[in-house]
Amino acid sequence: MRNLLLNLLIASTVILFPLSMATAAAAPITFNTALPVGKGEFVNREQLVLTRSGKDPSEMDRKIKGSALVSVLAYGINGKLTLFGMLPYLDKELRFPAPGARSVSRSSRGFGDTSVFLRYTLNQNDQRGSTFRLAAFGGVKIPTGSDTEQDARGPLPVPLQSGSGSWDSFGGLVTTWQTLKFQLDVQLSYAFKTQARQFNAGDEARLDGSFQYRLFPHELLTGIPAYIYGVLESNLVYRNKNTFLGRANPDSGGVTLFLAPGIQYVTRRYILEAAVQIPVVQDLNGNALENDYVARTGFRWNF
């Protein structure tokens, strides 16, 4: 079940980052960009993320599926500083066989925790036909989601709760190199987790990369209202083990590497996008449940 928490964090906390342009432009689908939001402008992003995990190394035959509808609003305070806020609606289900029954299902749905953060441009180098940006970001996750949900079997396990109950913080650096033909983004981030109800999720470190290439039209022409970009991203995620009552859970934590092919339809004011994160490396601890895939689709609107 640890991987459900990991994937929903990818689906909720990290998904709010790629919202940073004065007008619509290609950008990472699964993480941050250093491009700014124009002063006094807003960017709204809605994204549906579907998570499936069913590769169970134990004999329990656990299967987990989750979905997250994530709403994000970004506001350009000035040319360098942007404020972000994010609220996800989560739907999670765990299935496993049980004696005398075909299978047991435990599930929850509801609004999750709220994340708020700032991003500030540290360096900007504009040249003819290209721009380079380096930005720092940092913020907090506020425990607005419920962490006391239960069913007929009793309190739900922590990864099935809509909220974590903990005040967490995160931060990092992101860099962007944008040209007329392609864009390259790299992000390094770290999330610090705190304890709630004697449970402490493991801290998370990430290294993300994204390459976006304009597929159509091949040459920039006047009067072209929209563009199609091919996207290829990678997400290297390391998580420490979870702890409960001060003792580490041996079936949690580890390393996962995702490759994510995607596509974007880009206009001046909005973007339609889709990508599938495919795990190519999963070096998890103990009997932690492995990922099948993470699929995401959505839109961004600048106003």
| Beta-bridge partner residues of 163 | none
Q: For the purposes of burial, counting CB atoms within 10 Å of the CB of 91, is it exposed (0-12), middle (13-18) or buried (19 or more)?
A: middle
User: What are residue 160's phi and psi, to 5 degrees?
Assistant: -90, -10
Reported as a single tens digit per residue, the pLDDT across 239-290 is 999 999 999 999 999 999 999 999 999 998 999 999 999 999 999 999 999 9
Q: For the purposes of burial, counting CB atoms within 10 Å of the CB of 290, is it exposed (0-12), middle (13-18) or buried (19 or more)?
A: middle
How far apart, in whole angstroms, are the C-alpha atoms of residue 136 and residue 11? Answer: 21
For residue 150, pLDDT beyond 50: yes
Domain ranges, residue 136? 2-302
Total number of domains in the chain:
1
Q: How far is CA 220 from CA 176, 203, 223, 225, in A?
A: 21, 44, 9, 11
Q: Where would I find the H helices in the chain?
A: 2-12
pTM for this one?
A: 0.91
Query: CA end-to-end span of the chain, whole Å?
Result: 39
Reported as a single tens digit per residue, the pLDDT across 83-110 is 999 999 999 999 998 877 678 999 999 9
CATH number of the domain that 37 lies in?
A: 2.40.160.40
